[in-house]
Each structure stands twice: as C-alpha cells, then as structure tokens.
Amino acid sequence: MDGFTIAWLIGGIFVFMAIPITLWEIVQHLINYTKPKLQKHIIRVLWMVPVYALNAVSMCYVCMSHGQRGGNFGAVFLHQVRERL
C-alpha cells in the first residue's frame, strides 16, 4: 500500500465518524429549537462538516482513481459542486 492509499483510508475513517456526529448535532438542534435566531446559524455552520468532508474524500478518490490524467477535471468539477452548496 502506498502513502496516498493510507491517507485516503484514514481520511475516510474520520469522515465516516464526523458525518453521523454532525447529523446528530443538527437533529438535536432542530428538536430543541428554542432560540431560532441563534440556532439557525449554528445549523448552517454544522452543515459545512458533511459537505466539506464528503468533498475531501471524493476528491481523494477521483485523484487516486484517475491519476494525473483525469485528476484535474475531477478536482475542478468537485470544487464547483461544493461552491454551489
């Protein structure tokens, strides 16, 4: 196994740990929605975790699977998708 594959696996582990924790926090804020002015901004910030985490792992996957040849197109495409969210 090369270094890039190990990095991708470690990153994937942390992503799949961070997403359920973040979704749990978002659900808890929605269930206990007592301060809407504050909690709407907290929920916005919490949504950044799954978006950027999935973007990072998918970017690593695209670069790993396509190598140098297709990595640039995949990186540009995923960057545009992330910015639209």
What is the structure's pLDDT at 29? 96
The confidence score (pLDDT) of residue 74 equals 62
55, 11 contact by CB (below 8 A): no
Q: Which helix (H) or strand (E) segment is 71 a member of?
A: helix 36-84
Structure tokens at 68: 């140098």
**pLDDT at residue number 45:** 95
- What pLDDT digit, counting tens, does each position of 11-61 carry? 889 999 999 999 999 999 999 999 999 999 999 999 999 988 888 887 777
**What torsion, rounded to 10 degrees, do the Cα atoms 3, 7, 9, 12 define?**
-160
Q: What is the pTM of this model?
A: 0.72
Half-sphere CA count of 16, side-chain side, radius 13 A: 7
